[in-house]
Amino acid sequence: MPQRHVIKQISVFVNNEPGRLAKIARMLSEEGIDIRAFNIAEASGFGVLRAIVRDPDRAFERLKERGVIVKETDVIAIPMQDRPGGLFEAAAVLGEEGINIEYGYAYSGQEGAIFFIRVDDTEAAISALLDRGLELMKEGDL
Amino acid sequence: MYWNARMECMPPEELRNLQYRELKSLVYKLYSFNNFYRDRMDEHGVHPDDIQSLEDIRRLPFMYKQDLRDNYPCKMFTSPREEVVRYHVSSGTTGKPTLVGYTESDIEFWTDSLARALTSIGIGRGDVVQVSYGYGLFTGGLGLHYGAERVGATVLPASVGNTERQLELMMDLDVTAIACTPSYMIHMGEVAKRLGIDFRRDTKLRKAILGAEPWSEGMRRHIQEDLGIEAYDIYGTSEISGPMFTECEERNGIHIWGDVAIVEIIDPETEEPLPPGQEGELVITVIKKEAMPMVRYRIRDLTYMEDEVCPCGRSSVRMGRISGRSDDMLIIRGINVFPSQVEHTLMNIPEVGEQFMIILDRKGALDTMTVQAELRPEHFSDKMADMMAIKKRIDSDMRKYLNISVNVELMDPGSLPRFEGKAKRVVDRREF
């Protein structure tokens, strides 16, 4: 059942307008959306906010209603607390399987560090990682 | 010193007689050989016989840039193809370019017009002229090149770009005069300063012929005081041949040679003629053009004329500074851009909507153009590579159709202003 290991990330388009990111952050707080981890990728002229939130489906609907460009993206969460080198191992497995990591970012919470990765084939990545005995977080774990 | 004293200093009355005779023969020739203009005259209910004085030019129909586009490529040519020795092309709305053709005689009078102009600035044999206008389809480079060679100067065909090398050559070859856009001149000055080059001390450059984009007396002062160069204004567009007319050493208006062109200033709304000194829209008839005659061409620049004889002794009318346009054409780094071209380009890019804004800035000396377009939500991606590809596509399409590189800003849907009636899609923050 690889699906249970799929984590939903919300991805938000942030244009270059001054204060745009603050506006989106305010919307999230007004909607009571709790951000667990986030990452911002930026280029000249725009950025993409990627966030792991407590209830991604509700966050997606709320932001969409408010005219924000948002989409849900599947990512994989790799816990790093009891396995030093876990990230390296995961990357090596994916490399062997020919699965590309599009991007990744870390989160350090009370439960320890978690690394989120976005790959080009999520299901294949989950199967490969579980087959090699790596531990992955499940949707309810976060 | 004059290049052609008889023509340049002809008494005004005699010049007007000459213009009348030339106009009459031009109109007869067009009516006989140019289907486009004969149809236009017939629709307008005017016959060559109706031209009985120079003032009767007002009875003739106007020509518009749209006519050149509609008749692309060669339908407006009066000369057979084999008589055409050169083409120049400028980009146009909807990606459709404007083509201009020249016979040998067209190149000749264009070159002669510039030879007179350069002589009136004091440029001639012994000078080294760096032509830093673009060479190629644009008329600036080759036009000035021919003119400068004609007066016996040594020409350095530097074209545009690679400023450090241009400065090096300027010093090594003792360049005395340069022709380029005013913004490029300022940019060169800034690069020179950064490299520790002082124009007064390290170069022989004393004169600059600047044009192809709007500029102001403020920029002239800045260039003259900062760089120690005399700056002269030059005027022309590809439709009338290319850059053709300049100020003389007096620097008080651009001499429009009366045997080359007849100029009128009209009220753009009523199309009625305006008296000397009063600002209106320039209408130009190039008397000598063969391959592609231009009669009463609505060039869309706003300016005024002075008709008293210049202290330099030349009797031609003089044109004041171009203060603006009577249409929405933008001139960015010497390139003509219509907002409709931007609209058309965006329409073919599925990732963005049809709303847009154009923002013009001047960063240092160079104009920058930013195009804001609304991203369609279904094309949003969390992957930067996908997003960059959208930007890149817009940028490369703009470059392809407008001949200019732009900054692209992707916006949220609905975030750009909507207009009822006439859209104001251009924010021009440049200070000339």
Average pLDDT over residues A119-134: 92
Chain A contact for B411 (CB, 8 A cutoff): yes
In the block, tokens 């599947």 appear at A74
Chain B contact for A17 (CB, 8 A cutoff): yes
Considering the domain architecture, whether residues B289 and B371 belong to the same structural domain is answered as no
In the block, tokens 């209830």 appear at A55
Q: What is the pLDDT of residues B241-287, one digit of tens each?
A: 999 999 999 999 999 999 999 999 999 989 999 999 999 999 999 99
Considering the domain architecture, whether residues B374 and B312 belong to the same structural domain is answered as no
Identify whether B30 is part of a domain.
Answer: no
Query: Given this model, what pLDDT does residue A83 score?
Result: 60
A78 closest CA partner among A22, A23, A133, A40: A133
Chain B contact for A19 (CB, 8 A cutoff): no
Cβ contact B383–A103 (<8 Å): yes
**Pick from B387, B408, B414: CB nearest A67:** B414
**Pick from B382, B388, B410: CB nearest A71:** B382
> Of the segments B29-43, B110-124, B337-351, B386-400, which one has the largest average pLDDT value?
B110-124
Cβ contact B415–A15 (<8 Å): yes
Cβ contact A15–B410 (<8 Å): yes
Position A134 confidence tier, pLDDT thresholds 50, 70, 90: confident
Considering the domain architecture, whether residues B312 and B417 belong to the same structural domain is answered as no
Cβ contact B377–A43 (<8 Å): no
Cβ contact B391–A45 (<8 Å): yes
What is the average pLDDT score of chain A?
88
What ranges make up the beta strands (E) of B261-334?
261-266, 280-286, 294-303, 305-306, 317-319, 324-325, 330-332
Identify whether B42 is part of a domain.
Answer: no
Cβ contact A48–B407 (<8 Å): no
Is the fold of A8-71 the same as that of A74-141?
A: no
- Nearest residue of chain B to residue A44 (CA atoms): B409
User: C-alpha distances in angstroms, B276 versus A73, B71, B248, B306, B326?
Assistant: 68, 34, 19, 5, 19
Identify whether B18 is part of a domain.
Answer: no
What ranges do the domains of chain A cover? 8-71, 74-141
Considering the domain architecture, whether residues B277 and B396 belong to the same structural domain is answered as no
Task: Choose, out of A9, A15, A75, A101, the residue to mutate when testing the contact with B (most B CBs < 10 Å).
Answer: A15
Task: Choose, out of B355, B359, B382, the residue to mutate when testing the contact with A (most A CBs < 10 Å).
Answer: B382
Residues 25-84 in A contacting B (C-alpha not used; CB under 8 Å): 41, 43-46, 48, 50, 67-71, 73
Q: What is the pLDDT of residues B100-139, one digit of tens each?
A: 999 999 999 999 999 999 999 999 999 999 999 999 999 9
Considering the domain architecture, whether residues B263 and B364 belong to the same structural domain is answered as no
Considering the domain architecture, whether residues B253 and B392 belong to the same structural domain is answered as no
> Phi/psi of residue B159, each to 5°?
55, -160
Is the pLDDT at A1 greater than 60? The verdict is no
Query: Given this model, what pLDDT does residue B93 score?
Result: 47
Cβ contact A13–B407 (<8 Å): no
Considering the domain architecture, whether residues B139 and B223 belong to the same structural domain is answered as yes
Average pLDDT over residues B308-336: 89
- Show residues of chain A in contact with B382, CB under 8 Å: 9, 11, 48, 50, 71, 73, 118
Calculate how close chain B gets to A48, using CA atoms only, in Å. 6
Considering the domain architecture, whether residues B212 and B322 belong to the same structural domain is answered as yes
Identify whether B118 is part of a domain.
Answer: yes
Average pLDDT over residues B310-337: 89
Q: Which fold has domain A8-71?
A: VC0802-like (3.30.2130)
Query: Given this model, what pLDDT does residue B217 score?
Result: 86
Q: Which domain holds residue B344?
A: 335-428
Query: At which of B282, B297, B327 does a domain end?
Result: B327
B46 by Cβ neighbours in 10 Å (0-12 / 13-18 / 19+) ranks as middle
Domain harbouring B299, CATH code: 3.40.50.12780
In the block, tokens 């990606």 appear at B95
B353 by Cβ neighbours in 10 Å (0-12 / 13-18 / 19+) ranks as middle
Is the pLDDT at B178 greater than 90? The verdict is yes
* Residue-by-residue DSSP string for B244-259: EEEB-TT-SSEEE-TT
- Nearest residue of chain A to residue B376 (CA atoms): A69
* Beta bridge mates, A40: A49
| Higher per-residue pLDDT: B263 or A67 | B263
Average pLDDT over residues B40-54: 96
Average pLDDT over residues A114-136: 92
> Of the segments A82-96, A110-124, B67-81, B292-306, which one has the largest average pLDDT value?
B292-306
Cβ contact A41–B384 (<8 Å): yes
Q: What is the pLDDT of residues B130-161, one digit of tens each?
A: 999 999 999 999 999 999 999 999 999 999 88
Position A72 confidence tier, pLDDT thresholds 50, 70, 90: very high
Question: Which of B149-158, B201-210, B382-391 comes out lowest in average pLDDT?
Answer: B382-391
Query: Given this model, what pLDDT does residue A88 score?
Result: 83
* Nearest-angstrom CA–CA distance, B421 and B413: 21
Question: Which of B56-65, B108-117, B148-157, B399-408 comes out lowest in average pLDDT?
Answer: B399-408
Calculate how close chain A gets to B182, using CA atoms only, in Å. 28
Query: At which of B310, B327, B344 does a domain end?
Result: B327
| Higher per-residue pLDDT: B100 or B217 | B100
What is the average pLDDT score of chain B?
92
Cβ contact B375–A69 (<8 Å): yes
Cβ contact A69–B409 (<8 Å): no
Q: What is the pLDDT of residues A7-51, one digit of tens each?
A: 999 999 998 788 888 999 899 899 999 888 889 998 877 899 999
Give ipTM to 2 decimals: 0.86
Q: Which fold has domain A74-141?
A: Alpha-Beta Plaits (3.30.70)
Calculate how close chain B gets to A117, using CA atoms only, in Å. 12
Average pLDDT over residues A111-135: 90
What pTM was computed for the model? 0.73
Domain harbouring B379, CATH code: 3.30.300.30
Query: Given this model, what pLDDT does residue B423 score?
Result: 67
Considering the domain architecture, whether residues B95 and B230 belong to the same structural domain is answered as yes
CB atoms within 10 A of CB A116: 23
Cβ contact A43–B384 (<8 Å): yes
Residues 328-387 in B contacting A (C-alpha not used; CB under 8 Å): 375, 377, 380-385, 387
Is the pLDDT at A2 greater than 60? The verdict is no
Cβ contact A15–B382 (<8 Å): no
Query: Given this model, what pLDDT does residue B404 score?
Result: 85
Determine what percent of chain A is predicted with pLDDT higher than 70.
94
Give me the number of domains chain B comprises.
2
Considering the domain architecture, whether residues B199 and B305 belong to the same structural domain is answered as yes
Determine what percent of chain B is predicted with pLDDT higher than 70.
97
Position B364 confidence tier, pLDDT thresholds 50, 70, 90: confident
Q: How many beta-carbon pairs below 8 A join chains A and B?
A: 60
Considering the domain architecture, whether residues B134 and B251 belong to the same structural domain is answered as yes
Single-letter code of the amino acid located at B119:
T
